[in-house]
Chains A and B, each alone.
Chain A
Amino acid sequence: MSETTPMKKPKRPLPKSRVMTNELMDSVYAAAFDAEAKGEPVGWSTSIFPQELCETFGVPILYPENNAAGVAARHDSPRFIAQSEGELGYSNDICSYARLSIGMAHMIATDPNYERPALAMPRPTFLLCATNSCFELLKWYECLSRELNIPIFLQDCLYNYYEEEPASHKVKYARSQLEHNIKRMEEFFGKKFDWDKFLEIQKISNENSRLYDEIVLMNDRDPAPMNGFDLFNYMAPMVVARGKKETTAILLQLKKEIEENIAKGVSTFGSTPQDYRVDWEGIACWPNLGYNLKTMKKYGINCVTNGYVGAWSLKYTPGNLDEMGSQYMQSSTNVNSTLTTMGRRADCASHFQCDGMLCHVNRSCKFMTYHMFVGREIVEEKAKIPVASFDGDQADPTIFNEAQFETRVQSLVDIMKQNKEAKR
């Protein structure tokens, strides 16, 4: 190396909780490939399907939404999206996660030698679809089912417009579907459902949800002990392995690390001063996550919280199917009215003492776009903080523009700065 060549800044070693997270993700993917190799069932699931069922059956499940996020973050989404829009003829106006996974499913089904992404998924033998996180999931999974000629287990979740918690008839409907799905799965997997194991899985799932919520709340300190974007990484085990003990171990380790950070007065945000606390609204802009974080740091912004990462915290009394059904009927944000959803966001922003909110208007998600434009006024009025929005997408890199993002962030900072000065 030339003496004049500047030394590259060494990468900070990953904290133990992140290493454990990566190991868990590897093992979940490996188990799915192993099952495929043995000719055993493997499922693809929407992100908030009652995972307790297949965890009890011991059948491996992977999650196309989580997979799409990982593929997009590695800048490998365009070729799968192009496959969907090109050969398969899907509109570029539908969800990019759907385009990505349908394109990948087609490659898996038709070309055994296709170039696998770093996060490859095996061919599934069945699908799990819960409509709680998005009503378009029905069509997406119908397309996957047709493409791969495999069955769907459906957990239909109803919209809670008139109430914050599902009404009793909805709870009954949710419970009856859980029972029906268990019966159908017994037939499909050729195994009896083990109700004792189910109770254990429910306990683990609830403990993980409780721990995760506790961790998210620890960032309400000022300065925050965590870079808020870390939550985008730690939500992976909650999505993919919420019913596993390994997730409990990760969350306990993470909690310990945060407590150590608090005791030492340090943060995973690094040495950059946390001048502004911002509530990031909406999903991560996965293809541009690095740029988003770099720009935020440049202006001293720590996105200390966001409403999206908490969608996998489902808490109910283990053994109570009604409560469990009810929880799945009300998570996530897309089965609740805008007043409920954005009212909670405003409360959250106030609790975390946020100076502002930054909304990722995700081109893929028309539903959240409804929430955000109306919700902006709710948050401005209730939490008394400025709100800015920017265009992006969860997996399609053609939507985001760096210069437009920075202009909006910088203008939000100008307003937050003068608000802070006015308070002094």
Chain B
Amino acid sequence: MFAVGIDIGSTASKAAVITEDGVIASKAIVPIGTGTVGPARVFAEALDRAGIARSDVKWITATGYGRFSFEGINDQKSELSCHAKGISHLLPQVRTIIDIGGQDIKVMRINEKGTLVNFVMNDKCAAGTGRFLDTMAKVLDVSVMDLSGLSQRAEEPAEISSTCTVFAESEVISKLAGNVKLENIVAGIHKSVAKRVASLVQRCGIEQQVAMSGGVALNKGLVHSLEEEIHSRIYVHEDCQLAGALGAALYAWDHLQPA
């Protein structure tokens, strides 16, 4: 008897499988999200890695923007509650979570049980989101995975004043044309994202400890910029990208427990 959580985001699909005893049996990530084959693939991969068949799964909880569209789920939960539960499981001391998703920035305050107490999200503008970073990486002709290392080698972050994805793109192009070092441009991009996210963090209020969840948390350069802006250490778990899926799996597992 297994419980599965699947997090179908706008840019990636993630899944986690939990055994009857509450042990994480497998995890999987596919870098394509809702509206693609990503969700089906990540589900199959997670089952495969756990060495189980579909019939062994007793409850599936979906989360993320594609949560309503995946067939065969038993229920769905908001990604905020799932990130809260997932991070609380990974880092029990955390009370403030920052998640930079594909199109959303979420700042959440949670309690000791890992349940949501308060939250603030970005407005409709995609400034500072994961999609913003994807676009900037494309303009710079580097992989989004390389942004972290590049920014850590920067001497002086370039000034990127616009937070609008389209305007920032033209600003970055003009920096490239002005022979500004690539590393400094990337650090400037991180600083601009960090400033935007920091204002949301301040609006929600910080309670220690602070953690980041989601795939963007793997970008150490950005995490460092954000730490500077919010004047606080940010904890990042190696499974940060799976926090939403893990939270969903834990909710699924709760359903299998005797009342």
- A binding-site residues for B, Cβ under 8 Å: 361, 373, 380, 386, 388, 391, 399, 401, 403-404, 407-408, 410-411, 414-415, 418
CB-defined contacts of A403 to chain B, threshold 8 Å = 65
CB-defined contacts of B65 to chain A, threshold 8 Å = 403, 407
Q: Cα distance A399–B124 when bound, in Å?
A: 8
A418 and B124 contact, CB distance less than 8 A: no
A411-B80, A414-B78 are contacts. A401–B124 as well, Cβ < 8 Å?
yes
Which DSSP category, helix, strand, loop or mixed, fits chain A's interface? helix
Nearest Cβ distance between residue A371 and chain B, in whole angstroms?
15
A-B contact pairs, 10 of them (CB 8 A): A386-B118, A403-B65, A404-B104, A408-B121, A411-B78, A411-B119, A414-B77, A414-B80, A415-B118, A415-B119
Nearest Cβ distance between residue B127 and chain A, in whole angstroms?
13
A410 and B124 contact, CB distance less than 8 A: no
B81 and A414 contact, CB distance less than 8 A: yes
Does B142 belong to the interface (CB within 8 Å)? no
A411 and B123 contact, CB distance less than 8 A: no
Q: Cα distance A373–B203 when bound, in Å?
A: 9
CB-defined contacts of B40 to chain A, threshold 8 Å = none
Contacts across chains A and B counted by CB atoms under 8 Å? 39
Q: Cα distance A410–B64 when bound, in Å?
A: 12
Does B7 belong to the interface (CB within 8 Å)? no
B81 and A407 contact, CB distance less than 8 A: no
Q: Nearest CB to that of A361 among chain B residues?
A: B123
A388 and B119 contact, CB distance less than 8 A: yes
CB-defined contacts of A411 to chain B, threshold 8 Å = 78, 80-81, 116, 119
A415 and B124 contact, CB distance less than 8 A: no
Q: Cα distance A257–B121 when bound, in Å?
A: 40
Nearest Cβ distance between residue B62 and chain A, in whole angstroms?
12
* Complex partner residue of A415 from B117, B121, B203, CB under 8 angstroms: B117
B115 and A418 contact, CB distance less than 8 A: yes
Does B183 belong to the interface (CB within 8 Å)? no
CB-defined contacts of B117 to chain A, threshold 8 Å = 415
Nearest Cβ distance between residue B34 and chain A, in whole angstroms?
10
Does B45 belong to the interface (CB within 8 Å)? no
Q: Quick one: CB contact mask for B6-41 with A, threshold 8 Å, 1 for yes?
A: 000000000000000000000000000000000000
Q: Nearest CB to that of B117 among chain A residues?
A: A415
Q: Cα distance A361–B123 when bound, in Å?
A: 9
* Complex partner residue of B79 from A399, A401, A407, A418, CB under 8 angstroms: A407
